[in-house]
Structure 1
Amino acid sequence: MSNALKLATSALPAFLVLLDFSEGTPPKRAFLLHVDDELISQTLARVNEMVIARETDKLHLRKIVIDFQQGSEIQLNDAKTFKAEIIRAIGSSASAYTEKKLAFLKLAGFDDGAFIVRFQLEGMENLKALVDATLGMGGQVHVRNLEMLTKRFGLEDPNSSKASSDGILEITQAFPAAKGTIRFRNTVTGASAEVHAEAYSSPLNDVLPESLKKIRFDCGNFDWFMRGDGSNAGFRSKLDPEQPLLIEELAHFLQILCLMHTPERLMVDLDFSDRQTSVVVKLSTEAESYSHLLDAVDLLLKTKAFFQDRGPLQYP
Structure 2
Amino acid sequence: MRDLGQLGESTFAMWCAQVGLIANGSAIDKTGWDYYVEFPISSNITTHELHKSAFECKVQVKATDKKDRKLAITVSNLRRMATAQMPAFYVFLEFDGKNEAQNAFVLHIDNELVYKILKRVHQIEQSEKNKDLNKKTITLTYSEQHRVKKLDGENLKQNLLKYIGENYSDYIASKNKYLQECGFEDGYGTVQFSLEGEDGIRKIIDASLGLEKDVEVQNLINIEKRFGIPSKKSNFEIPNAKLSLGMQPPKKGKIRFKEDSLSSGLVFDIDFYNSPFSFNEFRKFAKFRVVGDFFDMTFEPYKKQSNYKFNFGEDRRFELKKLKDAIGLIELMSRDSQNTLMELEIKNFEPLIFDLKTKFIKRELTIFDAL
> Which category of TM-score, normalised to the shorter sequence, fits these structures?
0.7 to 0.9
Q: Deviation of residue 119 (structure 1)?
A: 1.2
The equivalent position to 2:277 in structure 1, one of 204, 208, 211, is: 204
- Relative distance call for 1:189 and 1:19 in structure 2 (3 A) is closer
Q: Does residue 1:272 correspond to 2:342, yes or no?
A: no
In proportion to residue count, which structure has more helix?
A: 1
Q: Does residue 1:255 correspond to 2:328, yes or no?
A: yes
Q: Does residue 1:174 correspond to 2:244, yes or no?
A: no
Q: Does residue 1:26 correspond to 2:100, yes or no?
A: yes
Which residue is 1:45 aligned to?
A: 119
Which residue is 2:232 aligned to?
A: 158
Q: In structure 2, how many angstroms separate the alpha carbons of the residues matched to 1:137 and 1:219?
A: 15
Q: In structure 2, how many angstroms separate the alpha carbons of the residues matched to 1:140 and 1:238?
A: 24
* The structure with more radius of gyration: 2
Which residue is 1:237 aligned to?
A: 309
Q: In structure 1, how many angstroms separate the alpha carbons of the residues matched to 2:94 and 2:305?
A: 74
Which residue is 2:174 aligned to?
A: 100
Q: In structure 2, how many angstroms separate the alpha carbons of the residues matched to 1:71 and 1:56?
A: 36
Which residue is 2:207 aligned to?
A: 133
Q: Deviation of residue 165 (structure 1)?
A: 2.3
Q: In structure 1, how many angstroms separate the alpha carbons of the residues matched to 2:261 and 2:142?
A: 76
Which one scores higher on RCO, CA 8 angstroms, separation ≥ 6? Answer: 1
- Whichever residue aligns with residue 216 of structure 1, its letter is R
The equivalent position to 1:119 in structure 2, one of 182, 185, 193, is: 193
Report the TM-score when normalising by structure 1.
0.77
Q: Is the 8 A contact 1:216 1:224 kept in 2?
A: yes
Q: In structure 1, how many angstroms separate the alpha carbons of the residues matched to 2:261 and 2:113?
A: 68
Q: In structure 2, how many angstroms separate the alpha carbons of the residues matched to 1:281 and 1:110?
A: 44
Report the TM-score when normalising by structure 2.
0.66
Which residue is 1:6 aligned to?
A: 80
Q: Deviation of residue 25 (structure 1)?
A: 1.0
Q: In structure 2, how many angstroms separate the alpha carbons of the residues matched to 1:68 and 1:138?
A: 57
Which residue is 2:165 aligned to?
A: 91
Q: Does residue 1:246 correspond to 2:246, yes or no?
A: no
Q: Deviation of residue 115 (structure 1)?
A: 1.4
SS at 1:133's partner residue? Answer: helix
Q: Deviation of residue 201 (structure 1)?
A: 1.3
Q: Deviation of residue 145 (structure 1)?
A: 1.9
Q: Does residue 1:217 correspond to 2:255, yes or no?
A: no
Gaps of 5+ in 1: 305-316
Q: Deviation of residue 18 (structure 1)?
A: 0.8
Alignment identity in percent?
25
Q: Is the 8 A contact 2:296 2:308 kept in 1?
A: yes
Root mean square deviation of aligned Cα: 3.5
Paired residues, number:
293
Q: Is the 8 A contact 2:332 2:338 kept in 1?
A: no
Which residue is 2:67 aligned to?
A: none
Q: Is the 8 A contact 2:256 2:343 kept in 1?
A: yes
- Relative distance call for 1:58 and 1:166 in structure 2 (3 A) is same
